Chains A and B, each alone.
Chain A
Amino acid sequence: MDSNLRREIILEHYENPVNRGLVDDDSYILKNTNNDSCIDNIDIMLKVDDGIIKDIRFDGEACAISTSATSVMINTLLGKSVDEAKKILQNYQNMIDEKDYDKELLGELNVYDEIGRQPNRKMCALLPSNAIKSILEMLEEK
């Protein structure tokens, strides 16, 4: 992908992320992503109905990569079934880890396909996917 276009997309999602702001609604499951390796601190909440991801919202203070990746991830996962979402998350993780992945499946998330080369930024890119993955796991345990 052209690096200017890549940057434009990321910057747009950083400056104007989708679904920023949490709601007070206990049909959502909330996860905080305060992790040790970076200082990003994002809350993500997700609502599933009938096996479909109905809504994802987030809030917090984080770097350009984490914030934008959260926004792009939300766009990508909204309306997907839990199984589709899991597949996307796995492929996204593979892409960041520089393993084989299905490019078609990831859509706009492909803008992060070079992040894996910067070890200090991998965690930033993985922040939303790790959080959403663990929310989906929490749902399964319910």
Chain B
Amino acid sequence: MNREDFPMLKEDIVYFDNGATTLKPKSVVHAMDKYYLEHTSNIHRGEYDASIITNQLYDGVRDIVRDFIHAKNSDEIVYTSGTTEGINMVVFGFMKKHLKKGDVVLTDRAEHASNVLPWLVLARKMGIVVKYVPLDDDYSLSVAKLEKEIDDKVKVISIAKVSNVVGDVRDTKRIGEICKSKNIYFVVDAAQAVSHVEVDVVDDNIDFLAFSAHKMAGPTGVGALYGKYELLCGMDPLKYGGGMNQEFSSDGDFEIKTPPLKFEAGTPAIAEVIGMGEAIKYVSKIGVDKIHEHEVSLKKYLVSELRKIPNIIMYNEKSDSGILAFNLEGVFAQDTAIFLNHFHIYVRAGNHCTKMLKEEMNIRNTCRISMYLYNNKSDVDRLIDALKQSENIFKVVI
């Protein structure tokens, strides 16, 4: 759907790398252009017309994000540079202060590097313990297995809402209930979830949630962190400077602002924040449920067509999203991706930053197809046609 909104699709390409970043619709690029070409100005200061427009747009995005993830109020929305920064802020600004040696953080081996490494650093620094819930046979994360790992030492559960290689949608509602009843902090990486499945931070009792705009039709370098307001109050900024302080003087006294501004030192990515707002408007207008339905039905079609090709190994046929990891038997994933590029089909090959998944899957690298609203059956057909010619793969890649 809506292919005409995405100028890049006018090229003769099949874009199947949406898990890495999505294409951007014209409306998002235009909103950012407008800032640069018509009302460039900084935020939080200035009384002139251009700055008033910029401030309104910039501040307005907080309300747009709030509604999008169903938060209670806009002060719980912190602008970030993306998911990675959001999770780092939670780990080093909050958890470092509130956890103690021996406390357990529960996660799993399908998580992205950005939801693993910060915890591992904290483990090294202060002796918290990172534990991994074993995945199911289909590499999804089940609530039952997660519950088995919970004991008094578990203080945090930090997981992706949708994992980026397996593409399973985690039951954050149920996990949120468990966290609430056991007084466990619930941290959610929503990088692959936003605009693919509904995200509701209040209903799911989520304490912190991070996402990036570029994986949902928005610009790169921007995202948002949600935190329950009282938790944000207890979180330290990792950056200090202009825009986040109330007052400071040469006697060493200073006072910092309240959330969310206390986390937003320095001039932010203004155009990108505005672009993020526009992206949320764009996907909301289509409807997240509709996007999800579209991706899932397209994946079903993809899987049924791939089954007809004998030398394809699929790793996550069943997961309820637009993500499929596969390999051609006996072919290195990178060679497959290079082969597909020859047909202008863009897929990603590698470990997709989930380097621990190999411990469960016994395979280090896969090709990943990740779909979005604009993909269609004809994209799938082109992929299938190309893969049917894979006996010629080395004629192409060598």
Write the residues of chain A forming the contact surface with B, with a CB cutoff of 8 angstroms. 6-7, 10-11, 14, 38-41, 61-65, 67, 120-121, 124
- Contacts A7-B398, A10-B398; A63 near B350 (Cβ below 8 A): no
> Given A62-B332, A63-B338, list of 7 further CB < 8 A pairs?
A38-B334, A39-B350, A41-B364, A61-B364, A64-B394, A67-B332, A121-B338
Q: Is B397 an interface residue (CB 8 A)?
A: yes
Closest to A40 in B: B334
Q: Mark B146-186, 1 if CB is under 8 A from A, else 0.
A: 00000000000000000000000000000000000000000
- Interface code B362-398, partner A: CB below 8 Å = 1, 0 otherwise? 0011000000000000000000000000000011011
With both beta carbons as reference points, the residue of chain B lying nearest to A9 in the complex is identified as: B398
Contact partners of B332 in chain A: CB under 8 A:
61-64, 67
Count of A-B contacts judged by CB separation below 8 Å? 40
On whether the beta carbons of B349 and A11 are closer than 8 Å, the reply is: no
Q: CB within 8 A of B365: which of A10, A61, A120?
A: A61
Query: Using a Cβ–Cβ cut-off of 8 Å, how many residues does chain B contribute to the interface with A?
Result: 14
Which residue of chain B is the closest to A62 with respect to CB atoms?
Answer: B332
Q: Judge if B351 is at the interface, Cβ distance under 8 Å.
A: yes
Q: Does B335 contact A (CB under 8 A)?
A: yes
Q: Which residues of B lie under 8 Å from residue A14 when comparing CB positions? A: 394, 398
Residues of A within 8 A of B398 (CB): 6-7, 10-11, 14, 64-65
B333 is an interface residue with CB less than 8 A from chain A = yes
A65–B199 Cα distance when bound, in Å, is 43
| A10, B394: Cα distance in complex, Å | 9
B158 to chain A, nearest CB (A): 25
Q: Within the assembled complex, what's the spacing in Å between the Cα atoms of A73 and B204? A: 56
Contacts of B350 in A (CB 8 A): 39
B395 adjacent to A7 (CB under 8 Å): yes
Given known pairs A39-B334, A40-B334, A63-B335, the reply for A11 and B394 (CB within 8 Å) is: yes
For residue A109, give the distance in angstroms from its CB to the closest CB of chain B: 15
User: How far does the alpha carbon of A41 sit from the alpha carbon of B334 in the complex, in Å?
Assistant: 12
CB proximity of A87 to chain B, nearest CB, Å: 27
Inter-chain contacts of A120 with B (CB < 8 A): 338
Bound-state CA distance A120–B332 (Å) is 16
Chain B residue contacts of A10, Cβ below 8 A = 394, 398
Residues 334-359 of B, flagged 1 when their CB comes within 8 A of A and 0 if not, give 11001000000000011100000000
